[in-house]
Amino acid sequence: DPVWGSLVKQTMRRVHPGFDETYYGYRSFSEMLKDAAGRKLLTLEYDERRGNYKVRADL
């Protein structure tokens, strides 16, 4: 089942409190998600109504 991108970021920060996507060269978490999707690591679906991405792991 997909999860919201914002929940993914919250979880990453809870597990790794110092996490910051800008450290890895991304301007935003969404940019990082798009890059991961481009590398076929996950699938994104943008929800216009919520203004958030649904993230699905491609395992």
Order of all β-strands in the sheet with 52-57: 3-4, 52-57, 42-47
Q: Which residues contact 13 (CB under 8 A, 6 or more apart)?
A: 19
Q: Is the model more confident about 12 or about 58?
A: 12
43-56 pLDDT, tens digit each:
999 999 999 999 99
- How far is residue 17's CA from residue 13's CA, in Å, rounded to a whole number? 5
Give pTM, 2 decimals: 0.86
Q: What percent of the chain has pLDDT over 90?
A: 92
User: What is the spatial distance between Cα 14 and Cα 36, in angstroms, rounded to a whole number?
Assistant: 20
Q: Where are the domains of the chain?
A: 3-57
Separation CA 4–CA 25 (nearest Å):
22
Mean pLDDT of 31-43: 96
